């Protein structure tokens, strides 16, 4: 069921929701949280699709604020999606114009589920300080996506400076499978000295930088990111040891090959994670991600990360103060290909 409301208010929207539930018997019991999505005009449907997918695992009320032009006449239009049109949730799309193009706690407070945690998600650009924004102040978790922001590396540096417990970024979530497999390998082979870490992919992205920082911090070894336009996303991680190279290589999008000295190659299921899966993962926890907090702050500031293009010997610093704009990164691939 889809209901359109023009030039309305949050109070009228809540009243309409109650009316629809009474008339159609739509059940809202079991909602575990309120997901507030702060989207941009023209990009909201992708975010709604991901939120609907995640809601099958985490039943919630989804409030999507779509920011339109601030120069338009101030008004609020809404679209209510219930039942089959909303997955396992209620979806409330708020189209804000003029002064209401800025999402605020006052605008959404009447629509929040009582006594339920609030998760704020910025699918694209996000405020200078997410935790101090009007919506961020009331949220238990704050999800950003530096890879989809207008300036990915400046955004990564910004997140490092403004981090507060409860913050996370989908560029970190996209490398979960890589971290799981590499941690399992290190546990399996036991203590060893890693001399160098090499990460290879099509471009330098926030995800590959964060993975390099994580490995460098945990293994106390320098990391080098090698880029090649002929490759597809992050596809190889190599740990150079005295006994040989431990390598995890994913040539396609579903299966990786693990190579270790003195052992036959092993195939591992490791599919590329899309936006739907990443958002669903982040909604599984409402506590602070302490590992991410450590990596985005102290790790990013101290790790030894360099980048170079395949076939070139010149290396460029990609950590700490210069990680936000490495010279070798001329553009950003579509997020979600890690």
Does 189 or 183 have the greater pLDDT score?
Answer: 183
Q: Residue 166 — pLDDT band, cuts 50, 70, 90?
A: very high
pLDDT digits (tens, 9 = 90+) for 286-324: 899 999 999 999 999 998 889 898 876 544 444 443 343
pLDDT digits (tens, 9 = 90+) for 36-57: 999 998 888 999 999 999 998 8
Q: Are 285 and 117 in contact (CB under 8 A)?
A: no
Sequence-distant (≥ 6) Cβ neighbours of residue 16 within 8 angstroms: 3, 5, 80
The CA distance from 47 to 61, in Å, is 14
Q: Is the pLDDT of residue 330 over 50?
A: no
Q: Residue 207 — pLDDT band, cuts 50, 70, 90?
A: very high
CA 55 to chain centroid, in Å, comes to 16
**pLDDT score recorded for residue 317:** 47
**pLDDT score recorded for residue 239:** 95
pLDDT digits (tens, 9 = 90+) for 50-95: 999 999 888 899 999 999 999 999 999 999 998 766 666 789 999 9
**pLDDT score recorded for residue 312:** 67
**pLDDT score recorded for residue 320:** 41
**pLDDT score recorded for residue 161:** 94
Mean pLDDT, rounded, for 137-148: 96
C-alpha to C-alpha distances, 216 to 219, 295, 306, 327, nearest whole angstrom:
5, 10, 11, 21
Tokens 């809601």 locate to 55
Q: Residue 22 — pLDDT band, cuts 50, 70, 90?
A: confident
Q: Side-chain half-sphere of 255: how many Cα atoms within 13 Å? A: 4
In percent, the amount of the chain with pLDDT more than 70 equals 88
Lowest mean pLDDT among 201-205, 274-278, 328-332: 328-332
Does 108 or 21 have the greater pLDDT score?
Answer: 108
Q: Is the pLDDT of residue 333 over 50?
A: no
Mean pLDDT (the chain) is 87
Q: Are 272 and 338 in contact (CB under 8 A)?
A: yes
**pLDDT score recorded for residue 173:** 97
Q: Residue 334 — pLDDT band, cuts 50, 70, 90?
A: very low
Q: Is the pLDDT of residue 5 over 70?
A: yes
In percent, the amount of the chain with pLDDT more than 90 equals 66
3 state SS of 254: coil
The CA distance from 307 to 209, in Å, is 9
pLDDT digits (tens, 9 = 90+) for 220-268: 999 999 998 888 789 999 999 988 999 999 998 899 999 998 899 999 9
Q: Is the pLDDT of residue 191 over 80?
A: no
**pTM score of the predicted model:** 0.89
């Amino acid at each position: 069921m889809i209901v359109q409301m023009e030039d309305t208010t949050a109070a009228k929207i809540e009243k309409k929701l109650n009316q629809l539930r009474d008339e159609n018997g739509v059940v809202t019991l079991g909602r575990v949280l309120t997901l507030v999505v702060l989207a941009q005009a023209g990009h909201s449907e992708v975010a709604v699709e991901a939120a609907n997918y995640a809601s099958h695992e985490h039943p919630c009320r989804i409030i999507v604020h779509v920011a339109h032009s601030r120069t338009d006449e101030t008004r609020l239009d809404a679209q209510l999606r219930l039942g089959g049109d909303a997955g396992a949730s209620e979806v409330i799309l708020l189209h804000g114009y003029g002064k209401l193009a800025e999402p605020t706690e006052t605008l959404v407070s009447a629509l929040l589920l009582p006594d339920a945690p609030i998760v704020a998600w910025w699918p694209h650009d996000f405020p200078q300080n997410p935790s101090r924004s009007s919506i961020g102040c009331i949220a238990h978790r704050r999800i950003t996506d530096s890879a989809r922001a207008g300036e990915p590396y400046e955004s990564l540096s910004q997140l490092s400076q403004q981090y507060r417990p409860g913050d996370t970024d989908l560029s970190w979530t996209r490398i979960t499978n890589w971290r799981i497999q590499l941690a399992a390998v290190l546990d399996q082979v036991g203590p060893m000295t890693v001399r160098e870490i090499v990460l290879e992919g099509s471009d330098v992205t926030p995800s590959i930088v964060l993975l390099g920082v994580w490995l460098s911090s945990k293994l106390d070894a320098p990391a080098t990111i090698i880029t090649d336009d002929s490759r597809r996303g992050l596809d190889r991680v190599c740990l150079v040891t005295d006994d040989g190279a431990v390598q995890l290589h994913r040539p396609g999008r579903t299966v990786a090959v693990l190579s270790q000295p003195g052992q036959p190659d092993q195939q591992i299921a490791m599919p590329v994670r899309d936006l739907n899966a990443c958002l669903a993962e982040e909604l599984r926890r409402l506590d602070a991600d302490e590992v991410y907090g450590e990596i985005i702050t102290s790790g990013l500031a101290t790790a030894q990360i360099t980048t170079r293009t395949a076939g070139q010997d010149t290396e460029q610093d990609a950590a700490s103060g210069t990680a936000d704009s490495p010279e070798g990164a001329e553009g950003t691939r579509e997020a979600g290909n890690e």
